């Protein structure tokens, strides 16, 4: 069965045939972060796919993964490409490197999970929070409920982790 709902006024829909994303977002709806662990090589992968990117085995088991890591890179969005985001500008779109499986299977590999920066309640982060976050900032996952079987995973500041004193940010316009 497909799942659909509205997020910030935008329609979201996962088709019935998309079993991997249905399972992924069903876990999100339970506010639990789960990824597929390959039955053969035991590596965890993201995003959800039908086969292991390392060994090709289609068999996998959904496994609880800690939704915690550091900002690997980000984009600060100032021009909304969807009207839904217009009232939330600027917002921060993050790629977060998980603590789980970092530098495995090689030093260049990691689980890097996309998501926007949010406040604790899952609303897109206000400008003062957006201005504080940069590369290296410690974040944890939160969820915004959309519909039965569908919640959007987002990132918020991890209050339990020590933060870098000066997380790297792109130079502001007008600065040298
Ligand atoms: Zn594998």
Its pTM stands at 0.94
pLDDT of residue 172: 78
| Structure tokens given for 25 | 């977002």
Compute the distance from residue 3 Cα to the ligand 1 centre, in Å.
28
Give the C-alpha distances (Å, rounded to integers) separating 129 from 70, 108, 123, 124, 158.
16, 30, 12, 10, 12
pLDDT of residue 175: 53
pLDDT of residue 171: 87
Compute the distance from residue 112 Cα to the ligand 1 centre, in Å.
17
Assign residue 101 a region (left: φ > 0; alpha: ψ between -120 and 50; beta: otherwise): left
Compute the distance from residue 103 Cα to the ligand 1 centre, in Å.
16
Which residues make Cβ contacts (< 8 Å) with residue 173, sequence separation at least 6? none
Q: From the first residue on, what is the mean pLDDT of each consecutive set of 10 residues in the chain (176 residues)?
A: 94 96 98 98 97 97 98 95 91 98 96 97 95 97 97 97 94 66
Compute the distance from residue 60 Cα to the ligand 1 centre, in Å.
8
Compute the distance from residue 171 Cα to the ligand 1 centre, in Å.
40
∠ Cα 42 55 40 (to 5°): 35
As a whole number of angstroms, the distance between CA 140 and CA 155 comes to 6
pLDDT of residue 174: 58
As a whole number of angstroms, the distance between CA 52 and CA 37 comes to 9
Compute the distance from residue 23 Cα to the ligand 1 centre, in Å.
19
Q: Give me the helices (H) in the chain, please.
A: 19-29, 127-130
CB 21 within 8 A of CB 13: no
Compute the distance from residue 31 Cα to the ligand 1 centre, in Å.
26
């Amino acid at each position: 069965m497909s799942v659909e709902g509205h997020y910030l006024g935008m329609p979201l829909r996962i088709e019935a045939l998309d079993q991997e994303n249905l399972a992924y977002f069903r876990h999100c709806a339970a506010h639990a972060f789960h990824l597929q662990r390959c039955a053969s090589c035991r590596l965890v992968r993201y995003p959800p796919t039908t086969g292991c990117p390392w060994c090709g085995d289609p068999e996998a088991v959904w496994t609880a993964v800690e939704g915690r890591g550091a900002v690997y890179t980000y984009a600060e969005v100032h021009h909304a490409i969807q009207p839904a985001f217009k009232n939330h500008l600027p917002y921060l779109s993050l790629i977060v490197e998980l603590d789980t499986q970092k530098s495995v299977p090689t030093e260049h590999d990691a689980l890097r999970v996309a998501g926007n920066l949010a406040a604790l309640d899952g609303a897109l982060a206000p400008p003062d929070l957006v201005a504080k976050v940069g590369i290296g900032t410690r974040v944890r996952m939160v969820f915004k409920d959309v519909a039965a079987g569908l919640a959007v995973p987002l990132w918020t500041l991890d209050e339990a982790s020590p933060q870098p004193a000066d997380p790297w940010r792109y130079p502001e316009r007008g600065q040298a």
